[in-house]
Structures are given as structure tokens and as C-alpha cells.
């Protein structure tokens, strides 16, 4: 049997007063999500440990069956891999945001989330900036980018320049240990930030942006230094072929580390305008060539970070349509589907939190429970109980008759 894992980023939430003290999942109408719950078995899931907020990187490592506390080596490497940069063991990867700096103060960490001209600015950085080591730089979705430092004598044990708030000064990057490598790498990143700011501040692209009432993309916030995590692919661990359908660079990077082929889908953006119908059809088609298909849906998390519960409901309706198309085309005799999230992201705090997320398993020989709605509170009554994200892959493999028994 084939397997599908659907992850709705930041799907979990908390009760919201303007939604009659319900969560977006509880308040909205999502017939296909409810059908999945009604025809399957449900529960709640901790991405890491109860009460521990998970990053999207560590959560997805956990969802792919690995203990992130053992293998996680920083987000930057995964981000860089996900945007298509070629990395080798020993390279240091970083996350980057194009930001807006005014009088030395961070006005906007994402330059208004307007990607206009970012590609040209990235090309200018690659063509005009030099450092004491080779580097790669590439824009990602929106105003995000990735940076890779290559060469010997580097360390990922350095701090971020991103203050993670506005109306403050960016941070100086510092070594986090006393090694020569950490001091050298911190110096390289500070040099890179200084040189790129001088280049970007007076660039014609930013003059054009200002003329069009957009914030200038005149500063780079660098964070999340990381190296390759020591993990095995799903083919090496379980003997299965796997494909990933995701627009977000980080998720694509995690999937690449685990040996997934990355599939491109027309209209897949990772933003509010992503084409949900094409994503659903691509997921179904991928089953012709792969044993396991991982489909990631980002906009629910974006709405949470924007603090917009009505938009989150709207994005959950897009997710509901994806699930509906898939359920209408596939038989529970042929495919096992798991639907869950990578973490909770309450709109009230605009960030990740440590509450568990709902999970449903559909198809195969699952023991259907009495739950008929897919939301945080009702799924807590389901037959799966409270599980960990590392349980998902073994549960799918078990239902698909693809896992070996332990013992004689």
C-alpha cells in the first residue's frame, strides 16, 4: 500500500474570543477534514515533548521518525539546501531575511514581505561582494534567502544578527565558544552584513521600491547557522521511495536530507495564493511513482504569525479542499493517509507554542473510533490517544505492511 503524509503548518491554535472562544478548526466548517476523522482514527500529537514549542525544522525531523535532540545541527544548512544551493559536509548554512533598516534601527524584519527586485539584489550580492572564503547566496520565497560559507576553519557555533523584533538595532554576530573557527566565522558574517548593507542601501532597486511606496530591502538579517545533520534517508532506513511537495525552502531542505525527490507544482507558492487544487492532483499523481508522498501546506502557519484567525479559517478551507480531492480519488484499500500539523501556532501569540496538534489516520485496517470532527479538543478523545511525532512514520508503515517486526 502507498502512504501520504499531509502536514498543515501551524494547524493547532487556542480558543479565540472573537470566534466564540473556539479555535479556527472548531469555528469553521471543514467537511473533508471531518470526513477523514470520521472514517479514520484520531488523536493528538506532540511534535517534540509536551509543552515544548517546536521549530518547523525540529518538528519535521521528528515527523520523519528521527529524534531531533540527537541529530539537529541548526536550521541554516537545511534552508540553504532547500533553495537549491549545493552544500558539502563542512559547509555552514544560514537563513537570511531581506529587512528594512532606518537610522540603524530595524523597521521591518521582512522588508514588508514584498519580493519585488529581490532576485536582482541577490544577483548583485553574488557579483559584487567578496569575502575571505567562498560563499553562495540565493533568494528563496518572499523576502527570504540563504547563505552558505565554504572552506576550512569554519564553525556554526555563532550567534544571530536578527533581533527577532523591530524598533531595535540589529545584533552583532559573536562566537559562542572560544575557538578560532567560531571567531573567524563570526567575523566573516559581520563583514558580509556590513558590505551588503552598503551595496543595498543606495541600490536602484530600493530607490524604485521607495518610489512605489514599498519598504526598501536594504539590510540582511542572518541567523540559524547550521551544518548537515547525521541522518539516513527513508530508502536506507525503510526501503521506500519518497517524494515531497512543498514550496517552503526549509521543508524542501529537510526532505532532501531524508532522500525525498522534490516535485515542482505549478502555482505552489507557500503563501495565501497557493494553488491547492494543483497540490492535491500532484499528490495523487506522485503515488504512481513513489511509495510515500509528503505534502506540506504552509499558509495556515502564515495566518497564525499574522495574528489573523479569519485568514487561518480561509486557509483551512484550502486545506479542506486538498483533502477532499484526495479522498474522492483514492481508496482506503490502496493508500494510508496521515493528516496532522508540525506544531501549534496560536493567532493570539503569533508564534509557535507547546500545545499538541490533532492527528488523523485514514485507510488500511485502522480501528475507526467515534470521533467525527477534526479539531484540537475532539481529536483528544480519539483512539490513538496522545502520541509523539516520531510515531507517525512507523504507524503509516505498519498500516501499509511495510515494517519489519522487532524480535523473533
292-297 vs 2-8, strand pairing mode: parallel
Convert the pLDDT of each residue in 129-168 to its tens digit: 999 999 999 998 889 999 999 988 999 999 999 999 999 9
CB 303 within 8 A of CB 12: no
The mean per-residue pLDDT over the stretch 77-83 comes to 93
Convert the pLDDT of each residue in 259-296 to its tens digit: 999 999 999 999 999 999 999 999 999 999 999 999 99
- What pLDDT is recorded for position 57? 95
Of the candidates 39, 44, 51, the residue with the CA atom closest to the CA atom of residue 384: 44
194: how many CB neighbours lie within 10 A of its CB? 11
Convert the pLDDT of each residue in 297-338 to its tens digit: 999 999 999 999 999 999 999 999 999 999 999 999 999 999
- What pLDDT is recorded for position 197? 97
The mean per-residue pLDDT over the stretch 8-15 comes to 98
- What pLDDT is recorded for position 374? 98
Q: Which residue has the cell 508522498?
A: 293
Convert the pLDDT of each residue in 21-41 to its tens digit: 999 999 999 999 999 999 999
Task: Please list the residue range(s) of the chain that carry CATH number 3.40.720.10.
Answer: 2-72+231-399
Give the three cell numbers for residue 260: 525525498
- What pLDDT is recorded for position 140? 87
Q: How far apart are the first and last CA of the chain?
A: 24
- What pLDDT is recorded for position 5? 98
What does the DSSP 8-state code read for residue 153?
S
Cα separation, 268 vs 265, in Å, equals: 6
Q: What is the largest CA-CA distance in the chain?
A: 72
- What pLDDT is recorded for position 220? 98
Residue 380 has pLDDT above 90, yes or no: yes
- What pLDDT is recorded for position 227? 94
The confidence band for 376, taking pLDDT boundaries of 50, 70 and 90, is very high
110: how many CB neighbours lie within 10 A of its CB? 18
Convert the pLDDT of each residue in 89-132 to its tens digit: 889 999 999 999 999 999 999 999 899 999 999 999 999 999 99
DSSP 272-291: TT--HHHHHHHHHHHTTT-S
- What pLDDT is recorded for position 90? 87
CATH fold, domain 2-72+231-399, is Alkaline Phosphatase, subunit A (3.40.720)
Amino acid at each position: 500500500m502507498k502512504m501520504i503524509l499531509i502536514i498543515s503548518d501551524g494547524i493547532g491554535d487556542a480558543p479565540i474570543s472573537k470566534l466564540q472562544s473556539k479555535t479556527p478548526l472548531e469555528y469553521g466548517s471543514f467537511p473533508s477534514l471531518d470526513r477523514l476523522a470520521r472514517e479514520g482514527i484520531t488523536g493528538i500529537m506532540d511534535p517534540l515533548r509536551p509543552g515544548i514549542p517546536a521549530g518547523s525544522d525540529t518538528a519535521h525531523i521528528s515527523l520523519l521518525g528521527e529524534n531531533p535532540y540527537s541529530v539537529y545541527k541548526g536550521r541554516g544548512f537545511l534552508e540553504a539546501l532547500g533553495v537549491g544551493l549545493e552544500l558539502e559536509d563542512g559547509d555552514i548554512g544560514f537563513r537570511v531575511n531581506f529587512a528594512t533598516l532606518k537610522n540603524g534601527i530595524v523597521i521591518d524584519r521582512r522588508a514588508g514581505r514584498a519580493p519585488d527586485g529581490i532576485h536582482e539584489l541577490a544577483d548583485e550580492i553574488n557579483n559584487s561582494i567578496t569575502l575571505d572564503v567562498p560563499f553562495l547566496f540565493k533568494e528563496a520565497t518572499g523576502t527570504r534567502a540563504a547563505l552558505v560559507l565554504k572552506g576550512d576553519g569554519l564553525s556554526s557555533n555563532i550567534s544571530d544578527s536578527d533581533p527577532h523584533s523591530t524598533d531595535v538595532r540589529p545584533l552583532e554576530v559573536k562566537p559562542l565558544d572560544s575557538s578560532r573557527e567560531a571567531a573567524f566565522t563570526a567575523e566573516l558574517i559581520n563583514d558580509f552584513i556590513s558590505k551588503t548593507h552598503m551595496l543595498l542601501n543606495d541600490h536602484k532597486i530600493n530607490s524604485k521600491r521607495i518610489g512605489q511606496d514599498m519598504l526598501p530591502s536594504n539590510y540582511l538579517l542572518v541567523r540559524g547557522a547550521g551544518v548537515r545533520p547525521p541522518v539516513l534517508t527513508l530508502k536506507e532506513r525503510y526501503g521506500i521511495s519518497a517524494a515531497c511537495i512543498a514550496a517552503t525552502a526549509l521543508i524542501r531542505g529537510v526532505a532532501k536530507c531524508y532522500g525525498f525527490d522534490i516535485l515542482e507544482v505549478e502555482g505552489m507558492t507557500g503563501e495565501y495564493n497557493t494553488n491547492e487544487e494543483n497540490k492535491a492532483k500532484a499528490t495523487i499523481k506522485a503515488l504512481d511513482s513513489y511509495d510515500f508522498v509528503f505534502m506540506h501546506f504552509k499558509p495556515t502557519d502564515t495566518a497564525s504569525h499574522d495574528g489573523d484567525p479569519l485568514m487561518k479559517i480561509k486557509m483551512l478551507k484550502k486545506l479542506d479542499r486538498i483533502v477532499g480531492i484526495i479522498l474522492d480519488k483514492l481508496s482506503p484499500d490502496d493508500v494510508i493517509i496521515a493528516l496532522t500539523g508540525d506544531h501549534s501556532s496560536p493567532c493570539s501569540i503569533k508564534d509557535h507554542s507547546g500545545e499538541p496538534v490533532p492527528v488523523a489516520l485514514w485507510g488500511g485496517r485502522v480501528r475507526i473510533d467515534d470521533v467525527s470532527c477534526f479539531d484540537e479538543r475532539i481529536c483528544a478523545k480519539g483512539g490513538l490517544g496522545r502520541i509523539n511525532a516520531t510515531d507517525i512514520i512507523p504507524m503509516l508503515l505498519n498500516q501499509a505492511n511495510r515494517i519489519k517486526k522487532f524480535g523473533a
